Structure formats: structure tokens, C-alpha cells
């Protein structure tokens, strides 16, 4: 667990690339960067604290705050996005940031939208990319620019935006960016809802429905853990095919059911079981007074976000979900290991 930083003073506010370039960089120290679109919450603060811990007391932590117009499909969504720079400065400083780089759109894109952009490739056509065409091209373009401007040794991103994280890692690898990309776990409220700047738009009833996203993910995780435990028992205690029938004849119903489950543990389609556990929770929420409208539920390969087949029973996976509750669209995900107990 990271320890909250105690900054020496307020974070320096930088508004231009020239001011950022002039920011003194301690010799031999690491610079860590946390990129945000502002409206900072505890999830962002946790990222900054992690960056502070990694950079060390003599390192430097820079937080970027920039609402990137290239990744918004509709002008209304861009206009609706909250801008809270004064509060963001306070959150960043309290979490241990040395500087906040908050440029204007004109500073980042002088002369208008850039003619040359990063193309995200096939991964950007899936899930979030299918729902928001062009979003990931715009995201990678601004991340590339901000990496060049801030020149960090290490950049930190949240696991909540898992597809974004995977694409940034791919860009850094494919285009030889000299920076280390580090992920931090999703931060959740006490009720399980993943922290997001969009949560502020939820009414009390909408928030109650929205909790189905995390409940679905946790149900899938718990079902997977139970399946792993069952398989471990099946390996340790092989069950003869006739044992269940024999126990049933003796009236040992619970023992018979357990024996039958052990006997059948091997051929279970793990990926299908995981998906079904989550779908059950989401289907119930679809019938709530304020319904959850599912966009997608997907169990994907973390490397390229392709769907995993139902019979996949080993390796890493990400279970991702997106849905609308009222006018608010929410996403969430959870990493899973299909071949070992979580």
C-alpha cells in the first residue's frame, strides 16, 4: 500500500510547452508522469501517490490536465466534460505532484487539429473503439504528444481504462518510445462502483442500478475461483463414475451432488462460465426501475482485446463491460487468470 505523500508546497502550474521545458529537472532523478483529463478524484490521486513513491523523494512527478477534443465524437460530450482546474491542482498537490501541466487546446494543437495523427489499428475497432469511432486515434495522438513534451522515465495509467492502457503499451512498443508504462489497479468506492468523473452525473436511483457493473464482474471472479477450487479437488480426489449414482441410491443427496460435480469438473468451458455469471447479474439490472442498457460484455485477451473462445481455460483475460444508466455511459473491467485461483 502506498503512503500518501506530503508535498513541500503547492504544485507548480504550467500552461505552455515553454514553461514545461523550463521546469528544472533534478540531475539523475526520475520523472514520473500521470496523464489526466482533469476532474480529478481519488482514483487519480492514487495514481499520483504511486508515481510519487516510484519517483522517490528526489524525483519529479508531473500531472497533465488536458481535455482532448480529438477523442470526443460529439461536441455535446466535449462541452459536458467537467473542468475543475483549481480543485485538480489541490488534489494533485496533496497526492505529491510537483507540477501540473494544463495547456490550452491552442497550445497542444497550434493552428487547429493536427493533420498527422497516430492510427490505433485493429485493436481500436473493438469494444470501446466500436462504440466510439476515432476515439483511440485521438487518445494516442495526444498521449504521444504529451510523452514528447513531458519526457518522462515512467508514465502511469489506471487499469480501469484497460483498452486504452493496452493501446498505449502497444504504441510505446511499436514506435520505440523510451518510456516505461505502469498500470495501477482500479480504485472503487465502498459500494464497489469504479471511480469515474462521470459518476457525478448519476442520480441515487441510477447509481443503484450502476452497481450491477461491478457486481457482475465480482460474480464472474467468484464463480471462476469456485471453479478452480472444484478442479483442484477433482485432481486431488479422483471420483469414480459410479460413485455419484451409488451415493444417490443411499440417499446421500448432497454427497452425490458433490461427487457428480467433482467428476464433471474437468471439461467445464471456463470462459463460458465466467461470461454467464456476469450476464446473470446484468440481465437482472436490465429489469430495474432505472434499467441498465448493456453496450457490451466481453472476455478478451489482454494483449489485443480479441474475444476469447468459450472453452479457453488458461492464461490471462480481461472481463470488460460497458453500459448506459440514464444518460450516463459507464465502463468497468477486471483482470482474471483463467488457469489459476485468483
First CA to last CA across the chain, in angstroms?
A: 19
Separation in Å, CA 163 to CA 26, 109, 167, 183, 198: 33, 25, 6, 12, 18
* E-assigned strand segments in the chain: 12-14, 31-36, 60-65, 99-101, 154-158, 180-184, 292-300, 316-325, 328-337
Q: Among all chains, which residue has been given the C-alpha cell 480529478?
A: 40
Q: What is the mean pLDDT of each run of 10 residues along the chain (342 residues)?
A: 50 97 92 96 96 96 96 81 94 97 97 94 94 93 97 97 97 97 96 95 97 98 88 65 60 56 62 95 97 98 95 94 96 92 48
Question: How high is the pLDDT of residue 77?
Answer: 80
Burial status of residue 117 (CB atoms within 10 A of its CB: 0-12, 13-18, 19 or more): middle
Q: What is the pTM of this model?
A: 0.86
pLDDT for res 249: 62
C-alpha to C-alpha distance for 165 and 156, rounded to whole angstroms: 9
Q: What is the pLDDT of residue 3?
A: 42
Q: Pick the catalytic residue: 41, 44, 135, 228?
A: 44
Confidence (pLDDT) at 1: 40
Per residue in 158-179, pLDDT tens?
999 999 999 999 999 999 999 9
Q: Check residue 256 and give its pLDDT.
A: 53
Predicted pLDDT at 8: 47
Whether 228 is a known active-site residue: answer no
Amino acid at each position: 500500500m502506498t503512503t500518501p505523500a506530503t508535498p513541500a508546497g503547492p504544485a507548480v502550474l504550467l500552461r505552455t510547452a515553454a514553461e514545461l521545458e523550463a521546469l528544472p529537472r533534478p540531475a539523475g532523478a526520475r520523472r514520473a508522469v500521470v496523464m489526466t483529463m482533469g476532474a480529478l478524484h481519488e482514483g487519480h490521486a492514487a495514481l499520483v501517490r504511486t508515481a510519487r513513491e516510484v519517483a522517490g523523494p528526489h524525483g519529479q512527478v508531473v500531472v497533465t490536465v488536458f481535455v482532448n477534443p480529438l477523442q470526443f465524437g460529439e461536441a455535446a460530450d466535449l462541452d459536458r466534460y467537467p473542468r475543475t482546474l483549481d480543485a485538480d491542482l489541490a488534489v494533485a498537490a496533496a497526492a505529491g505532484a510537483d507540477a501540473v501541466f494544463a495547456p490550452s487546446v491552442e497550445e497542444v494543437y497550434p493552428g487547429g487539429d493536427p493533420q498527422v495523427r497516430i492510427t490505433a489499428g485493429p485493436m481500436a475497432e473493438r469494444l470501446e473503439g466500436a462504440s466510439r469511432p476515432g476515439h483511440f486515434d485521438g487518445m494516442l495522438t495526444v498521449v504521444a504528444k504529451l510523452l514528447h513534451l513531458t519526457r518522462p522515465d515512467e508514465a502511469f495509467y489506471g487499469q480501469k481504462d484497460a483498452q486504452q492502457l493496452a493501446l498505449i503499451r502497444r504504441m510505446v512498443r511499436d514506435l520505440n518510445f523510451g518510456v516505461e508504462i505502469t498500470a495501477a489497479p482500479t480504485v472503487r468506492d465502498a459500494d464497489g462502483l469504479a471511480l469515474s468523473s462521470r459518476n457525478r452525473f448519476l442520480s441515487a436511483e441510477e447509481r443503484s442500478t450502476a452497481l450491477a457493473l461491478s457486481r457482475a464482474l465480482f460474480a464472474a471472479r467468484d464463480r471462476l475461483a469456485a471453479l478452480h477450487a472444484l478442479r483442484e479437488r477433482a485432481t486431488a480426489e479422483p471420483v469414480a463414475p459410479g460413485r455419484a449414482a451409488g451415493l444417490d441410491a443411499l440417499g446421500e443427496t448432497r454427497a452425490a451432488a458433490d461427487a457428480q460435480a467433482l467428476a464433471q469438473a474437468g471439461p467445464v468451458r471456463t470462459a463460458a462460465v465466467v461470461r454467464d455469471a456476469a450476464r446473470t447479474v446484468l440481465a437482472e439490472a436490465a429489469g430495474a426501475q432505472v434499467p441498465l442498457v448493456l453496450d457490451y460484455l466481453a472476455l478478451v485477451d489482454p494483449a489485443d482485446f480479441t474475444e476469447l473462445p468459450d472453452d479457453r481455460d488458461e492464461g490471462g483475460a480481461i472481463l470488460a463491460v460497458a453500459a448506459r444508466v440514464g444518460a450516463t455511459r459507464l465502463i468497468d473491467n477486471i483482470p482474471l487468470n483463467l488457469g489459476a485461483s485468483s
